[in-house]
Amino acid sequence: MEEKFKLYSQKAIIIATFFGGPVAAGILIRKNSLNLGREKEGLIALIIGITSTIILIVSVFWTSDPIIDKVANTLIPPIYMLIIAVIVDKIYGQILKKHKEENNEFYSNWRAAGIGFACSIVIFGGAFTYAYFAPDDWDYETYNYEITKVDNNLVEATEFFNI
């Protein structure tokens, strides 16, 4: 007799990814992999999910605000959701289809959403902690000196324009 187990559907993985980013997808894919006896694949998926999330966060911190305002909210989440959907379909599509055809159970989409939401809390908590407790190495004297030069150039340019 074959042992019954639950898996996360592709839809559940995408829902979790929407709320929790690539790390949430990595967690759910790892759970599926463990249930399928593919422990090494699960570990790789988790590592890729964590690494992708870190790369996204670092990219957001290092990119200028105007670019982030235009790109981050509209392009980045759909792109990584699409990438994860394609990966899940290519690697687990047939397995998930067979699992459904055999009337086996899937984990709830609500559970996946909860995992994604929990991941987002951890991500935002980590980002906030970094932003709040990062060392303050801003050189105020150099900034004030340089901004004074800019102000002086502006005054000279205005005088030149008046002539």
Q: Determine contact, residues 30/43, Cβ cutoff 8 Å.
A: yes
pLDDT at 9 over 50: yes
How far is the C-alpha of 80 from the C-alpha of 96, rounded, in Å?
A: 21
**pLDDT band with cut points at 50, 70 and 90 for residue 42:** very high
SS3 7: strand
CA-to-CA dists, residue 138 to 134, 145, 146, angstroms:
11, 13, 13
Mean pLDDT of the 3-31 span = 93
Q: What is the model's pTM?
A: 0.76
Count Cβ atoms below 10 Å from residue 38 Cβ, excluding itself.
Answer: 18
Categorize the per-residue pLDDT at 10 as very low, low, confident or very high, splitting at 50, 70 and 90: very high
pLDDT range class, residue 155, cuts 50, 70, 90: confident
Mean pLDDT for all residues in the chain: 87
For range 27-48, the mean pLDDT: 94
Interval 73-104: pLDDT, tens:
678 888 889 999 999 999 999 999 999 999 99
Highest mean pLDDT among 31-45, 54-68, 127-141: 31-45
